[in-house]
Amino acid sequence: MNVYSLLDQAAIRHAQAGAVYCDETLVATFDELRHRSLQLASRFGRMGKPGDRVLVAAKNRPELVEIMFAIWAAGMVAVPVNAKLHPREIADVVEDSSPIVIMASTSIAQNLAPLAQRTPMIEIGSRDYTALFTGEASEPAEVAPEDVAWLFYTSGTTGRSKGAMLTHRNLMAMSVAHLADFDDVGHDSSLIHSAPMSHGSGLYMLPYIARGARQVVPGAGVFEPANFLRLCDVHPRVAAFLAPTMLQRVRIVCEAAGRVPANLHLIVYGGGPMYLSELRQSLATFGQAFAQLYGQGEAPMTITGLRRSDHATEDDAILGSVGWPRTGVEVKVVDRNGKALPAGTIGEIVCRGDVVMAGYWNNPEATAQALRGGWLHTGDLGSFDERGCLTLRDRSKDVIISGGTNIYPREVEEALLAHPDVAEVAVVGEADPEWGENVVAYVVPVPGKKLGADALDAHCLSSIARFKRPKSYRFLRELPKNSNGKVLKRALLSEAD
């Protein structure tokens, strides 16, 4: 079963219905989308063979829909990368995944020019791109459910990204769970891609394509709350995936306008902590228009969740939780030995089911570690209550989640340590009402050297993505450490209190 078949079946039922829109403008009907995807698939087929990777590096744009389905129709593996990554970080993903071609938007293509010497690159929207749609449409490739469809790169705690291998079965299980738990999608529904299509929003393309709904891509390619609300007036029965910080921005704009768009049907939030007060305010403004997901790249969008109806509660413990296991997913909280813990006891959250990745690309050790005993070890700590509702307690991996995006301290620490005048550094996340957490670096300069925030900021910009660099720097003579010499990050945080 190839996930491409979701488009094929929708095109049979809804051939003339609008499939892809850029803002309010129709870009392709389902029939056109299918034809263009198959034409592009035939070009990919001439460049390589099933199982080969195609890397996609672009801000959100309408072409991403045909590109993804073309990759699957060719039996190949999509490698979407976050457009905000630093060129060096994208180069790491290119090296790890060895794609046969890179599909990139203009600005990213320019930044990646050195890579083009080794890997062919096609600029999306260019004349070369248009020329790909002149030939014959190919027959979609046969694939097995366990064949990889999407390499989902998550930031690795060791600095290097790991590619979670998401199979056709995984993506199908995710789509079915979305339809079962969150949204009764119809051909009169729309999905607005406000969050990056390289991640959650792009994954949600599948259940909406399956039901013949519209894909709406904002023309700016970036998130603009006012435009999001405007598009909710234009398109029918709108759903969107928003990180908690995006939801907050939409709510503020909506409250200032004094009006809730009539067609706003569902906002799925998740990917990072949602503060209770924010959720309460959002419910007051938008009513019961929410579902919450708890998931990770390794079990895309689908571990536990709160359904729309779960939000109709006065119980803060439920609204502050990540809800119940999703359809088709088993979830346990376990101790260090993998033994299930009773309600009320905190342990590591593990899960299994058709949605769990096949493993990490080119990384059998990390795969064995993450999938030991047949369960995905999420690295998140949490506990169930007596009702079977799961609450996240902490993140065992120290990951900082700022604006719904994961930032791994070690990666930022490594970048800062590359500066010749930095002796020691510890990067931590400090609670922030707007962003969830902010990246803060505690820096010990090399004796006799003077360091300023501006110099370190410029240094970070040369090697890591903008969004990962610290928002503030604090300079210390030494870092607090335990008797083994391990930095006590908690002590830094309590000093900041």
Q: What's the min distance (Å) between Cβ of 292 and ligand AMP?
A: 5
- Taking the C-alpha atoms of residue 439 and residue 403, their distance in angstroms, rounded to an integer, is 11
Q: What are phi and psi of 491, to 5 degrees?
A: -65, -35
- Taking the C-alpha atoms of residue 56 and residue 394, their distance in angstroms, rounded to an integer, is 33
Q: Closer CB to ligand AMP, residue 221 or residue 271?
A: 271
Q: What's the min distance (Å) between Cβ of 221 and ligand AMP?
A: 21
Q: Closer CB to ligand AMP, residue 395 or residue 410?
A: 395
- Closest residue (Cβ) to ligand AMP? 296
Farthest CA pair distance, the chain:
72
Token readout for 313 is 């509660």
What residue ranges bind ligand AMP (CB under 6 A)?
154, 270-273, 292-297, 322, 378, 380, 392, 395, 406
Token readout for 387 is 């009702």
Q: What's the min distance (Å) between Cβ of 271 and ligand AMP?
A: 5
Q: What's the min distance (Å) between Cβ of 79 and ligand AMP?
A: 16
Of all helices (H) and strands (E), which one includes residue 258?
Answer: none
Q: What's the min distance (Å) between Cβ of 167 and ligand AMP?
A: 17
Q: Closer CB to ligand AMP, residue 202 or residue 271?
A: 271
- Taking the C-alpha atoms of residue 109 and residue 98, their distance in angstroms, rounded to an integer, is 17
The amino acid at residue 130 is T
Which residue carries 């079963």 as its tokens?
Answer: 1
Q: Closer CB to ligand AMP, residue 225 or residue 271?
A: 271
Of all helices (H) and strands (E), which one includes residue 101?
Answer: strand 101-104
Q: Closer CB to ligand AMP, residue 124 or residue 301?
A: 301
Q: Closer CB to ligand AMP, residue 297 or residue 353?
A: 297
How many other β-carbons are positioned within 10 Å of the β-carbon of residue 190?
23
The angle at the Cα of 361, spanning 359 to 367, to the nearest 5 degrees, equals 35
Q: What's the min distance (Å) between Cβ of 164 and ligand AMP?
A: 8
Q: Closer CB to ligand AMP, residue 121 or residue 164?
A: 164
Q: Where are the alpha helices (DSSP H) in 81-160?
A: 87-97, 106-111, 127-131
Q: What's the min distance (Å) between Cβ of 388 and ligand AMP?
A: 17
